[in-house]
Chains A and B, each alone.
Chain A
Amino acid sequence: AQSVTQLGSHVSVSEGALVLLRCNYSSSVPPYLFWYVQYPNQGLQLLLKYTSAATLVKGINGFEAEFKKSETSFHLTKPSAHMSDAAEYFCAVSEGTGGSYIPTFGRGTSLIVHP
């Protein structure tokens, strides 16, 4: 069974500050892990994914995430927040077998960026 926990339904940062969005997962097999971003009234867009290669994954818009097996975490970071980063972020896990069909999504974290 797989599950995802995103700590904090809302995260507020100042423009230029570090962004840290937390994601912890559980999986009975080596997982695939994903971060998606959703802007208002749009679909989800893939930011980055971990698929058992390098543990530090770089994505679009300057975001990156590090897979830490010992902590079962896949936190999303960005060194300097921009106003345009304000959006909803979803972490997801898939049980890495290529046949599970259905990733499990977290409940989402709303990132608020103050000027």
Chain B
Amino acid sequence: SQTIHQWPATLVQPVGSPLSLECTVEGTSNPNLYWYRQAAGRGLQLLFYSVGIGQISSEVPQNLSASRPQDRQFILSSKKLLLSDSGFYLCAWSVSGVGHTDTQYFGPGTRLTVL
């Protein structure tokens, strides 16, 4: 069966500090990978998605970046955090193509507080 891991679970960082959030998927090959953010009381905001190693698409201009160094690893980074980066970050995976339905499966999330 497939599983998805995110870490850390919670993080408190000062403004201007760097960020690295990691997501790994087990039990599937060549998944589509996604990073979402939920600000307090708001819906899901798609930040990045990737359909393969080294292939990253950005949905929103911001001070965040994403990388996919391995097939089942997706990393969200920032060089300098802003207060507005606070939120709940969710990683998700899906499989596309004939016979698949683009169902997304979500990780447990990382709660980031920027002070």
Contacts and interface: CB of A to CB of B under 8 A. Distances in A.
A105 B98 CA distance: 22
Interface string A71-115: 000000000000000000010101010111111011110000000
Contact of A101 (B42, B51, B90, B106): B51
For chain B, the bracket of interface size reads 20 to 34
A34 B92 CA distance: 15
- Mostly, the A contact residues are loop
Contacts of B105: 46
Interface residues of A, number: 25
Contacts of A43: 90, 92, 106-109
Interface in B59-106: 88, 90, 92, 94, 96-106
Contacts of A42: 108-109
B43 A99 contact: no
Most A-side CB within 10 Å, residue of B51, B97, B106? B106
A105 B108 contact: no
Given A41-B109, A46-B105, A98-B100, A105 B43 contact: yes
Interface of A: 32, 34, 36, 41-46, 49, 51, 90, 92, 94, 96, 98-103, 105-108
Interface of B: 32, 34, 42-44, 46, 49, 51, 88, 90, 92, 94, 96-109, 111
